[in-house]
Amino acid sequence: MKKAPDLTSLNWDDIKYFLALYRYRRLSLAAQQLGASRATVSNRIQSLESALGLPLFRQEENGFTPTPAAIELLHVAEKVEQNLSLDYLGERLQKLDIPTIRIGLNEGLSDNFIAFEMAGFAKRHPAMIKLVTLPKNTNVATKEVDISITIQQASSELVVSKLLTNYDLGVYAGCNYAANLPDPLEVGSLGTLPWIGYIEELMYSDSLLYHLELPDEIKFSFQSTSLNAQIQATRADLGLCILPCYIAEHTPGLVRVLPHLSFSRSYWISTRKDVIGSKKLKNVWDFLIERFRAEQSMFIGY
């Protein structure tokens, strides 16, 4: 069995070079973005690959193409980037006695809706907003977070919860992969095609096991606890994937197949009954409910 990478040997400063090359796909563009030389970017990527024991990019005619290892690393790298920025900001704001509100939610909703909306809130209301995105349901009852947004309604008697919105999901593929699918694609043939999805034994909610609602048993070619990793794998033409429409419809390189086949889930907001009356929390609570109400059409009707 191949030895697992020793992550303690990683130089976390190399992460920013990895992210730049992943995002821009060319050494010259990555170097320009970082204010570094092409040689420095190349050497940092080689250092990271050496520490991981895995290749992260393939150099091709049109630039650098990420490997499956790079797709998996992307999620971790973005979290490192985000946490380092938040740690620095947190140290500065801590001195100003600004209220802190911790919001627990999944990465897809955070990256594609809540982060932008809460940035707008923070500009108008002094507050330190912490978005806690973990591969599990965050728990307001245990004071892990102040507000939680989940795909299932909280059941604790200590908690108050409210439906924010329903949202649609569909089956998507990368553009090249979709172009080579049978025409017409029949639902009965889905079991013969490769799929991308969550790792079933690591799922925190059965509501994420969308494939169980398909008529036939399917075979996975790529699985990850990260929604972003699934999206990148789908864009890379590894197979079909069930994705939230409000994300996939605005992601370049994705095409919906079998548009008549859809799935529905819900987002619920919850907090503890003993803090719902707190002004600092109530401001955020009311703001989130209002923004979901105003953007309802973003989540349904696909």
**Which residues fall within 8 angstroms of residue 126, CB to CB, at 6 or more apart?**
96, 98, 99
Render pLDDT for 26-66 as a digit per residue (tens, 0 to 9). Answer: 999 998 888 889 999 999 999 999 888 899 999 998 899 99
Output the pTM of the full model. Answer: 0.66
Instruction: For strands 147-150 and 254-272, give the pairing.
Output: antiparallel
Domain of 273, CATH number, reads: 3.40.190.10
- Pair 200, 139 in one domain: no
Structure tokens at 56: 């992260």
Domain-located, residue 6: no
Phi, psi dihedral angles at 262 (to 5 degrees): -135, 165
Render pLDDT for 71-84 as a digit per residue (tens, 0 to 9). Answer: 988 888 887 777 66
pLDDT of residue 33: 83
Query: Cα-Cα-Cα-Cα dihedral of 175, 18, 65, 63, to 10°?
Result: 110
Task: Name the residue range of residue 63's domain.
Answer: 12-94
- Pair 154, 271 in one domain: yes
- Pair 111, 70 in one domain: no
Domain-located, residue 209: yes
pLDDT of residue 135: 65
pLDDT tens for each residue of the chain, 302 residues long: 445 455 555 677 788 899 989 999 999 999 888 888 999 999 999 999 988 889 999 999 889 999 999 998 888 888 777 766 655 555 555 555 567 899 999 999 999 999 999 999 988 887 788 998 876 666 676 678 899 999 988 887 888 999 999 999 999 999 999 999 988 888 888 889 999 999 888 877 888 888 888 878 899 999 998 999 999 999 999 999 999 999 999 999 999 999 999 999 999 999 998 888 888 889 999 999 999 999 999 999 88
For the chain, report the end-to-end CA distance as a whole number of angstroms.
45
pLDDT of residue 285: 94
Domain-located, residue 188: yes
Domain of 50, CATH number, reads: 1.10.10.10
pLDDT of residue 1: 44
- Pair 252, 181 in one domain: yes
E strands in 208-275:
219-223, 240-244, 254-272
DSSP letter string over 60-115?
ETTEEEEPHHHHHHHHHHHHHHHHHHHHHHHHHHHTTT--EEEEEE-HHHIIIIIH
- Pair 257, 126 in one domain: no
Structure tokens at 25: 């796909």
Q: Which amino acid is at 48?
A: L
- Pair 75, 114 in one domain: no
Domain-located, residue 26: yes
- Pair 58, 120 in one domain: no
pLDDT of residue 255: 96
